[in-house]
Amino acid sequence: MPLLTPGTDLAALRARLGATSDAWLIACFCAAWCDTCEEYKPKLESLAAALPQHVFAWIDIEDHAELLGDEDIENFPTLLVQIGDRVVFYGPMLPHIGHLERLLASLNADSAPVKTALPDLPRMLAA
């Protein structure tokens, strides 16, 4: 599946996230002006294509600030991995796709949740 953006791919995001209650959402928080993000994006697109069972989202923090709630993004890329209603990873990550690949391989439905100030992204995107 492709890397989806809330602005242009909202219907597809809603459909994919609503298809199952335990969907994996991998969201990359970025900014259009960030050169690091722009270099990372094609690698994330390739990973999204290689893992079609997961939902990958590219969220520009300036275009979709409402999806951050009270959370501030200070480093790019900042990644979120949410399984169903549980956030299992949230934080900045070096822009090497292998780091994300290893992280995803280490997570499963029993992974411990982490606390964030982010709103429930799948619910917000579905509204």
- CATH number of 3-126: 3.40.30.10, 3.30.530.20, 2.70.150.10, 3.40.50.970? 3.40.30.10
pLDDT single digits (tens) 114-126: 999 998 888 888 7
Q: What is the residue extent of each domain of the chain?
A: 3-126
Beta bridge partners of 86: 83
- pLDDT score of 6: 93
- How confident is the model over 5-18, as pLDDT tens digits? 998 999 999 999 88
Asked if residue 69 has pLDDT above 90, the reply is no
What is the pLDDT at residue 79? 97
CA atoms within 13 A on the CB side of 46: 10
80 vs 48, 73, CA distance in Å? 14, 12
Rg (alpha carbons) of the chain, rounded to whole number: 13
What confidence tens digit (pLDDT) does each residue in 21-62 have?
A: 889 999 999 999 999 999 999 999 999 999 999 999 999 999
CB 39 within 8 A of CB 95: yes
As a whole number of angstroms, the distance between CA 68 and CA 48 comes to 22
Q: How far apart are CA 93 and CA 80, in angstroms?
A: 10
What pLDDT does residue 125 have?
Answer: 81
